[in-house]
A and B are shown apart, each in its own frame.
Chain A
Amino acid sequence: MSSAWKGLRSSAAAAALGLGLALGGTSASAEPVEELVLLTWAKAQFPVEYEAAILLAEGWSQLGLELDIQPANFPNPLIERVFVKRDFDAALINFTAQLQRLDPEFYTYNAFHSDRAAEGGWNFAGLTDPELDKLLEAQRAEYDFDKRKAMVADIQSQLNDKNPWLVMVNFDELQAYNSDNFKDPVLPKVSGFRDAVAFFTLKPTGERKVVRWGVPMSDLKTINPVIASESSQVRLVYLIYDTLMKIGPNTEPQLWMITEITPIDDTTIEVTLRDGLTFHDGKPVTAEDVAFTFNYMKEKKAAYYTSTLEQLERAEAVAPNKVRFTLAAPYAPFTTQTLAMVPILPMHVWSGIEDPSTFENVPAVGSGPYQFDYWTKGREFKVSRFADHFQPADNDGLLVIFFGTAEAAYTALTRQDIDVVDKVLPYQLIELEGLDFITPVSVPSNGSITVVLNLRNAPMDDPAFREALSLATPRQRALMELFEGYGTLGASVIGPANEYWHEPGVTADPYDIEAARKVLEEAGYSWSDDGRLQLPQ
């Protein structure tokens, strides 16, 4: 019975991996490349990532590699394996589309500086390159856009040669809304309905004034911005809380709560607040509130904002409407990223909160275009139009409905029970195109499915090996089979949707097993009689 069982598993697995190889039989002295651990997401959470892993294994096994696909649950143990223990040889990561990740900081310094390779850092690959480090440091200290852009382009080319990440696909965000009920939303490039502004600008066409948005989550975890740690929660924070800057629909940074940014010197920046800003409870937004927010977030180590606030020394109110930020070192992303990320908190609510981790923050008081209405746990979350905002919403409010499953949310959209779904699958989008009351949305995003190689482990530390892996990565099949062609082949770590910063000279490697084998051969790798890849001697 046990051998029959084994037969089942290995035959299914072998077929899945496209391994046409017999096992056993070692060649003279060369050592085979050990089985590689390919970490991916649990099927329940990201079926696409899971399928991508199977596809990837199919390609890589053509090189004579053996792969152990390990789907892991997010957040535990996935976060620990990726961020702390670095327990993988290759990991499939889904980088979600986010406006806050448009500044090159996230995909360059944050992901590849040797600083960030330590436990807990975002340099999953563990790339440590002193030359590159210098360039990474220089770009974040460069306030001149053109000069910085040249540096960032150079970084992208270098990363393309080093292959620490193999971007598989830059996918489009696929979404849909009911255009019988609402029209003309401003859909920001790279994110669409993943950004709050798309909701603010949905214009009612008739009786229905409150937008109903169906999400597959079964509940919001928290509306407390200081402890929110995932983008899915933070998105709802931005419905209620405003930021000093905003990334505009064409990915350009805009002044939002402020009217002016005055650089005093490389490490001192002063901002001037708009007149007439008020919190939802009627109290005015002052420079004190802004300074308090930044200091508080920094002091309490707010999970989502830790890295963006790293360079901030302190914030102080220098006039009723002027705030001065002092940085530890020159930091270009401060205005384009940090100021666009940190939600402004009312000091009169938060100054008494010693331990924010046990603060529920209901009702949440912010100063954004929507104000908190109610939250019935496990069912729905409602915000309504805040009329006193300087750019009030075009509708009466937004109702977030927690469906628990994506299928239920999708079905509700087709039954006209809800107005917006912000994530639909490629084949569903094709289906939705047949419904006249639905407007399908596909926006090229700055999200991607990326294979992160762990350079701490051999043979991933060998650039030739990584190049061969890149050539054996079936990007075209991934784009067609996983995304029905909605996206672009992955190349640079900064995808083409991020037009300003993307380096067009970096193009996707073709899927070319022969070329990959040649690269390996030239680097001294060999194959055993049964086709298994062996390390150079």
Chain B
Amino acid sequence: MAELSVGESGSPSAKSPATSGTWRRLWSPFAGRPLAIASLVILVVFVLVGIFAPWLAPFDPMEKNFGPDGRLDRLATPSFSHLFGTTLYARDVFSQIIVGTRTALIVGVITAVAMTVIGLNVGLVAGYFGGWVDSLLMRMTDVVFGVPILPFAIVALSLLEPSTWGIIALMSALFWPITARVVRAQVLSLRERPFIDAARISGAGHMRILYKHIAPNVMPQAFIHGVFGVAWAITTEASINFLGFGDPFTMSWGTIIYDVFTSMVSYTAWWWFLPPGLCIILVVTAAYFIGQAFEEIANPRLKAR
């Protein structure tokens, strides 16, 4: 989605580098917005569950559960002992969801950080130096931007060893162009600003100007796309796993849906099929709302009137 609105965002605030009131500035997107606050709560819960997953899961997610007759308690509907029922091999779905939360957290956060670091630096350097550096970096950006992410990822993963790190690396390598474009656009206008000239005159080097004076001003935009990146990463990882190209030993929401599908019960075992999808929706929607709230602060024209 954000790909589609990239062209419109990007009018940087005219203020000079941030100095004070950081907390107030961070809170401002949420002030008076119940949806954004709800999203924040969801994300905080998501992060906490992810961190404390091993202590929260009532069962080992791979442990098989047996009924009183000594047989596997397979495909059990939700009950008090198994909140989300059990899988085909009688594993506790609720525990799988909890452990999958940690995977989603790791995948989302690391991909977002990696794409932001790459995109931010490419955008900064391209926008600041201009000329052939800009041309080269932006053509590179354009090329990577044109890669169809999901098909490319499954071809690459099928040929390499399937691993969650591989998925994270691939997504990071493909997501950064969006950040790079937005950052560059802002840097282009920032570098003409008086305070940059002032810094230059006072003898600051390129590095200092780039990272001390310009970077703080483009951080909000990079951050917003990082938040969107969390959402894209979680959805993309789930899609890759659904097609069976992920690491079978990692428990993630995508692999849970894939398990239901390959167990041939996705049309019937709703207790197993619905929770992972709903979790994805919750977290991804929350990330979108928060990203949007920040975007509206950075670019007031987008605010709904």
Contacts and interface: CB of A to CB of B under 8 A. Distances in A.
B262 A47 contact: yes
Contact of A5 (B106, B251, B264): B106
Q: Do most interface residues of chain B lie in helix, strand or loop, or is the interface mixed?
A: loop
Interface residues of B, number: 34
Contacts of A480: 71-72
Interface stretch (B60-68, B217-225, B232-240, B291-299): B60-68
B243 to A, nearest CB: 8
Interface string B233-273: 00000000000100011110000001001111111000000
Nearest to B245: A44
A13 B249 contact: yes
Contacts of A13: 249
Given A12-B249, A407-B261, A44 B244 contact: yes
B99 A9 contact: no
A47 B265 CA distance: 14
Given A50-B248, A405-B261, A425-B264, A8 B64 contact: no
B62 A16 contact: yes
Contacts of B54: 7-8, 11
Given A43-B262, A481-B89, A407 B267 contact: yes
A387 interface: no
Interface residues of A, number: 31
A410 interface: yes
Contacts of A407: 261, 264-267
A50 B255 CA distance: 14
A69 to B, nearest CB: 8
Contact of B75 (A42, A427, A481): A427
B72 A481 contact: yes
**Which of B53, B75, B262, B264 has the most CB atoms of chain A within a 10 A radius of its CB?**
B264
Contact of B102 (A8, A16, A47, A54): A8
A102 B74 CA distance: 35
A80 B258 CA distance: 27
A54 B62 CA distance: 10
A23 interface: no
B39 to A, nearest CB: 23
Nearest to B54: A11
A410 B99 CA distance: 31
A427 B158 contact: no
A12 B60 CA distance: 7
A101 B266 CA distance: 36
Contact of B262 (A11, A44, A411, A481): A44
Interface in B105-150: 106, 109-110
A73 interface: yes
Contacts of B89: 51, 481
A27 interface: no
A47 B263 contact: yes
Nearest to B64: A481
A411 B258 CA distance: 17
Interface in A49-88: 50-51, 54, 69, 71, 73
B186 interface: no
Nearest to A216: B264
B103 interface: yes
A193 B101 CA distance: 43
Nearest to B250: A9
B88 A427 contact: yes
A427 B62 contact: no
A411 B54 CA distance: 37
A340 B89 CA distance: 40
A12 B88 contact: no
Interface string B70-98: 01101100000000000011000000000
Contacts of A410: 264
Contacts of B53: 8
A50 B99 CA distance: 21
Nearest to A425: B264
B268 to A, nearest CB: 9
Contacts of B72: 480-481
Contact of A8 (B71, B99, B248): B99
A12 B248 CA distance: 11
A428 interface: yes
A410 B264 CA distance: 8
A69 B244 CA distance: 17
Contacts of B51: 4
Contacts of B75: 427
Contacts of B99: 8, 12
A9 B250 CA distance: 7
B61 A12 contact: yes
Interface in A466-496: 480-481
A410 B266 CA distance: 12
Given A51-B89, A71-B248, A427-B75, A8 B158 contact: no
Interface string A11-37: 111011000000000000000000000
A44 B89 CA distance: 15
Given A11-B54, A44-B262, 6 more contacts: A8-B54, A8-B99, A15-B60, A15-B63, A54-B62, A425-B263
Interface of B: 51, 53-54, 60-64, 71-72, 74-75, 88-89, 99, 102-103, 106, 109-110, 158, 244, 248-251, 258, 261-267
24 contacts: A1-B109, A8-B53, A8-B102, A8-B103, A12-B62, A12-B99, A12-B251, A15-B60, A15-B62, A16-B249, A42-B244, A42-B248, A43-B244, A43-B262, A44-B258, A47-B262, A407-B261, A407-B264, A407-B266, A427-B74, A427-B75, A428-B264, A480-B72, A481-B72
The 6 closest A-B CB pairs, nearest first, are: A407-B264, A44-B244, A16-B62, A15-B60, A43-B248, A406-B264
